[in-house]
Structure 1
């Protein structure tokens, strides 16, 4: 039976995981869910980027975990990724530079997925719209301005799901201190589902670009690209099963024995499994590059791992 763990994806630099060109306001939009319109990160793009981390260590181990690059007929991947889903979205504010926003639909879906993929049955309190959450309990109501819109909000006294998310970010040793302080001291805004969808559609970054050829002449553009803004926090789940090598083949059996030997050396422990190895590598490599425009410094993303 495979085991899963939670991953938060914190956008460090603007992130463009594209859905191709479209005839719309933006030439190259980001990936979005068809039904909700919320931003998403396709699992295939996440898997490809994380595979590059493992490839830096050992090609053989990489192929054993992710499957052969050239031919998947011998054995398949033992690791699987779920799409990255939106959790907290940053919006410009006159109070504290920006605020993270979310909505009841997003938080309730997170709760459902958390219990489903991690095999838990945790109970979380109900969530309503037009509330704010903060560890600072001095205020029971606030007025906040997001972009050009004003919201009157009541404090939610207890929000166990946000407590869990904040704890993960706060306890991760790679999260910058200023961000830990911000997520603890400042408000997280719970808007209505419709208001949240509006901001995730209208408050992304839109960049205009051109492509210049060898002779300094514009060969393409201008065209516009959409990006997830910095400090967007997405989430997903990673599942790890036993290696899928076919032991009926004698050569494959020898390779598998060699693999377990290498894993034992890597983890320096007698009891070794694929799940622990994957988490160990990701804990040591907490930043990846997702999406396009790598040479422009785009898509640098922090991985924050939760418990299984």
Structure 2
């Protein structure tokens, strides 16, 4: 078997929904049950890439990579297995530098685990704030100085900024692997508890309405609230390939390289521009 890490860089808000919600938000995003961390189901990634390959008229590769259609599903499995795309970096509005890419020790630990299993070598040290009010930063772009204090102001949270060599190492490595150079100045590692709070309060929530054609007023019952991951979010997942009959695992990965650096639409609300993401293999095409 062969495994590769992929990234999804959200170029517009991403709504991977779960259907009707039970709270204030009518259409929430999908979240992991135990952690509450947003994710994009692997089935969504597989479906979008399968459609893209079919549009390129590579029907032979489609069947080998993704498996036969439902009427012939018993013939063999697809060579490629798609894990869920998990959140790695969440963009948060910053008082200085427009926005910060935040992550936490927990997110970095599980990403490092998956990355090593896929043959990558992430930095060995996982930087961790020693208190909830501390933020480890990779650069000064998001650091705000006030009364001789160095702060990172995220939404309405004031955190003490501490430059960290480990954070710089992670920012540089992620910048190379995911092709996002700005990470070297915007990476901010917060306490796991702070991340949990921001995941509940800093996602994008918008009101949607449907107007009556004749009066241009809101139709009865046609006001609802939708949640989305904000633009600039970075998610990652793992694609595992296996040999099926004479189709080798390495050949499957090679065939998937055509998607590297391409832009696809994931999740719902395609007609209003949601879910435009750039697909990238870690480290680029190989």
Give the TM-score normalised by structure 2. Answer: 0.85
Residues 207-237 of structure 1: per-residue CA shift (max 9 Å, x gap)? 1112457777826521111011000111111
Q: Which runs of 4+ in 1 moved over 4 A?
A: 119-123, 212-217
Residue in 2 aligned with 1:133? Answer: 137
What root-mean-square deviation, in Å, do the aligned CA atoms of Structure 1 and Structure 2 show?
2.7
What is the rounded CA distance, in whole Å, between the counterparts of 2:228 and 2:139 in structure 1? 31
Q: Which has the higher helix share?
A: 1
| Bigger mean CA offset, 123-132 vs 98-107 | 123-132
Residue in 2 aligned with 1:102? Answer: 103
What is the rounded CA distance, in whole Å, between the counterparts of 2:25 and 2:99 in structure 1? 24
What is the rounded CA distance, in whole Å, between the counterparts of 2:139 and 2:4 in structure 1? 26
Cα offset, 1:134, TM superposition:
2.2
What is the rounded CA distance, in whole Å, between the counterparts of 2:126 and 2:31 in structure 1? 27
What is the rounded CA distance, in whole Å, between the counterparts of 2:156 and 2:162 in structure 1? 20
Label 1:126 to 1:228 Cα distance change in 2 as closer, same or farther (>3 A): closer
Structure 2 stretches of 5 or more lacking a match? 144-148
Residues 86-128 of structure 1: per-residue CA shift (max 9 Å, x gap)? 1110111110111111111111111112112x14676611321
Q: Which has the higher strand share?
A: 2
**Is residue 43 of structure 2 the alignment partner of residue 67 of structure 1?**
no
Residue in 1 aligned with 2:226? Answer: 225
**Is residue 3 of structure 2 the alignment partner of residue 4 of structure 1?**
yes
Structure ID, larger Rg: 1
Cα offset, 1:199, TM superposition:
0.8
Residue correspondences, number? 269
Contact 2:9 2:277 in 1 (8 A): yes
Structure 1 stretches of 5 or more lacking a match? 248-255, 261-271
Give the TM-score normalised by structure 1. Answer: 0.79
